[in-house]
Structure 1
Amino acid sequence: MKLPMMFVTAVTALGLSHTALADAPLNVGISGEPYPPFTYKAASGDWTGFEVELAHAICADMERECKIVPTGWSGIIPSLDAGRIDMIMNSMSITEKRQRVIDFTRPYYFTPGAYVAASDLEINIPEDLDGLVMGVQSATTNATYARRELRDSGVEIRLYDQAEQVNNDLLSGRLDVILADEIAMVQFLERDEADDFEVKATAPRHEAYGEGIGIGLRQEDDALQTSLNEAISAVIEDGTCASLSEQYLTTDVCVYD
């Protein structure tokens, strides 16, 4: 039976459209504010870091091209919902609160929060936080933990938009202590200007920190979620994740099944 030419044309166009979508680059949202060693700009001006390179490895396993799209951290979930990015790969913890608005892949890494202060500050945490000023990046699991567990400790909690603002205020003496990702803090303490600071303690496992770090997705993108889960498992099992973790973080933080 011959089909009307209009119907054939429409079906053909629809097929081409699906093919084009399948072949289109995946827009990977990362924070526009550098977050070394996870995401930062190399001397060439290109974005690199543990999560940037892992994103490229995951996309390569899927035989898809990745395009890194820097986005303000506070607007990164709205950008996902609006379709400006296809996924968030920027140290975003899988938490119950976030799962109300977006979906996640399986976790690919986990590190605890760490308290950093001057080396000569003798302090037991959380007992000795009373009267101190602590900096935390807003809209993070560390901020959630601080609000839930440290509110009655007597510490003054200051929230910042960017992690580097927190670091700079610690170095300048405007903060007594900060709470941030342990791996990021290890890298921070390698700076010459941070010689007089150290990790004082790590935060305990807590529901505020969720299940680990996963890739954030729109709730309707089930097929992409399945493909990403398979690719994450593949790059973990073949050692790619561990190799990149050792390269950028000097330790293996990958989450194994």
Structure 2
Amino acid sequence: MQRRQLIARAALAACALLATAGAAHAQAPDWKKIRIGVEGAYPPFSEVGADGKLKGFEIDLALALCAELKAECTLVQQDFDGLIPALQARKVDAIIASVSITDERKKVIAFSNPYYNTPARFTAKSDAKFDFSPAGLKGKKIGVQRATIHEKFAADTFKQSEIVRYATQDQAFLDLKSGRVDLTLADLVAADMGFLKTPAGKGYAFVGPSYDDVKYFGTGSGVGLRKADEKTLGKKFNDAIAAVKANGTFKKLNDKYFEYDISGKTAK
């Protein structure tokens, strides 16, 4: 009797282990449905059009990647500084929002391979004259988007300047035009295509050098992911990025929005 009870208990334990393993396997996502966090306030990468719909390079890229993945994707609009918290809280599964791959961010989240890489530039009135050393910009007001690599770089490099932080880059450009800041530091493409080449940018220009220090600006922008999903969803995105670059889709989107190749450090 005692032996039978031991055998029965062992069998029940084995069944419990199998059931647990089966449940875990069943709960593992197959990534046929993916929620992608986007910003929607960073033209020409992502913005909300007059019709209320999201549009832009990264919106089109996200849809192209989803087509390669054969996944049903939902785009979830979120302020930039809330994207990583949303990822960690499992409100989204991935981020496609010009999130630069930096060592600091890699402590918190994982990334796909980079899909674009452009430097940062200052924008100011076209006739403005500045000394771009830290001492030369002492007392100047520099507008930056909050929670970005540009904020970190400006705060660390120009310690004697007043760093003015904004929820969106568009707000920084508005304050530049109104005279509330002297300069704004942003991604070259976002500043060029999202401001300088628009009617609002008349009378303004890039000023000073370009900045691409890997310590601050990383190795390009990639898809942000939870660390636990790096080997599954991360691999899928890496394969999809490689596919759209190989089949010409990436170049087609690049040429639709930009006058230069943004896939590497060709734009200065």
Indicate the residue corresponding to 2:119 in structure 1: 112
Whether the 8 Å contact between 2:60 and 2:253 is mirrored in structure 1 is: yes
TM-score by length of 1: 0.87
Q: What CA distance in whole angstroms lies between the structure 1 residues aligned with 2:59 and 2:176?
A: 27
1:217-256 matches, cutoff 5 A: 217-221=225-229, 222-255=231-264
Q: What CA distance in whole angstroms lies between the structure 1 residues aligned with 2:45 and 2:88?
A: 23
Per-residue deviation, residues 89-127 of structure 1 (Å, max 9, x unmatched)? 100000111111110001000111110000111224236
Q: What CA distance in whole angstroms lies between the structure 2 residues aligned with 1:99 and 1:55?
A: 21
Residue 169 (1) aligns with residue 175 (2): yes
Indicate the residue corresponding to 1:142 in structure 2: 150
Given candidates 54, 59, 62, the residue that maps to 2:66 is: 59
Given candidates 107, 131, 134, the residue that maps to 2:139 is: 131
Indicate the residue corresponding to 1:160 in structure 2: 166
Q: What CA distance in whole angstroms lies between the structure 2 residues aligned with 1:119 and 1:95?
A: 31
Quote the offset at 1:18 in angstroms.
5.7
Given candidates 196, 204, 207, the residue that maps to 2:203 is: 196
Q: What CA distance in whole angstroms lies between the structure 2 residues aligned with 1:175 and 1:16?
A: 54
- Match for 1:211: what amino acid? T
- Match for 1:220: what amino acid? A
Q: Unaligned stretches of 5+ in structure 1?
A: 1-5
Q: Report runs of 4+ in structure 1 exceeding 3 Å deviation.
A: 13-19
Indicate the residue corresponding to 2:92 in structure 1: 85
Q: What CA distance in whole angstroms lies between the structure 2 residues aligned with 1:167 and 1:124?
A: 21
Residue 182 (1) aligns with residue 191 (2): no
TM-score by length of 2: 0.84
Residue 121 (1) aligns with residue 128 (2): yes
Whether the 8 Å contact between 1:50 and 1:249 is mirrored in structure 2 is: no
Quote the offset at 1:212 in angstroms.
0.7
Q: 3-state DSSP class of the match of 1:220?
A: helix
Superposed CA RMSD in Å reads 2.3
Q: Unaligned stretches of 5+ in structure 2?
A: 1-14
Q: 3-state DSSP class of the match of 2:41?
A: coil
Q: Which moved more, 1:189-198 or 1:95-104?
A: 189-198
Q: What CA distance in whole angstroms lies between the structure 2 residues aligned with 1:111 and 1:203?
A: 10
Q: 3-state DSSP class of the match of 1:97?
A: helix
The percentage of counterpart residues that share the same residue type is 34
Quote the offset at 1:81 in angstroms.
1.1
Quote the offset at 1:24 in angstroms.
3.8
Q: What CA distance in whole angstroms lies between the structure 1 residues aligned with 2:71 and 2:264?
A: 23
Quote the offset at 1:218 in angstroms.
0.3
Q: What CA distance in whole angstroms lies between the structure 1 residues aligned with 2:168 and 2:31?
A: 34
- Match for 1:236: what amino acid? K
Whether the 8 Å contact between 1:107 and 1:255 is mirrored in structure 2 is: no
- Match for 2:172: what amino acid? V
Given candidates 33, 46, 49, the residue that maps to 1:25 is: 33
Q: 3-state DSSP class of the match of 1:203?
A: strand
Quote the offset at 1:191 in angstroms.
2.1
Whether the 8 Å contact between 1:93 and 1:213 is mirrored in structure 2 is: yes
Whether the 8 Å contact between 1:28 and 1:69 is mirrored in structure 2 is: yes
Q: What CA distance in whole angstroms lies between the structure 2 residues aligned with 1:150 and 1:236?
A: 37
How many equivalent residue pairs? Answer: 244
